[in-house]
Amino acid sequence: MNEPSGNDSAEARVKALVDHALLESFWRGVVHYNTIDLVLFLDQRKQAEPVVVYPRERTIADKSVPAALRAMLSKSARSAASPLSFEDTAFWFVVLFQDEGMACAAITAKPIAPVGAA
User: What residue ranges do the domains of the chain occupy?
Assistant: 4-109
Mean pLDDT in residue range 6-21: 82
The CA distance from 12 to 68, in Å, is 19
The CA distance from 10 to 65, in Å, is 19
pLDDT of amino acid 69 = 94
Residue 118 reports pLDDT greater than 50: no
The length of the chain, given as a count of residues: 118
**Could you report the per-residue pLDDT of 32-70, keeping only the tens digit for each?**
999 999 999 999 988 887 899 999 999 999 999 999 999
Decide if 57 contacts 83 (C-beta within 8 A): no
Tell me the pTM: 0.82
**Contact residues for 33 (Cβ-Cβ < 8 A; gap 6+):** 53, 55
pLDDT of amino acid 10 = 82
| H helix intervals, 1-118 | 8-15, 20-33, 56-61, 67-72, 77-80
78 vs 1: which has the higher pLDDT = 78
89-96 vs 38-43, strand pairing mode: parallel
Among 69, 88, 85, 71, CA closest to 2: 69
Cα–Cα distance list, 4 to 8, 24, 29, 44, 98 (Å): 12, 24, 23, 15, 14
Residue 115 reports pLDDT greater than 50: no
pLDDT of amino acid 7 = 59
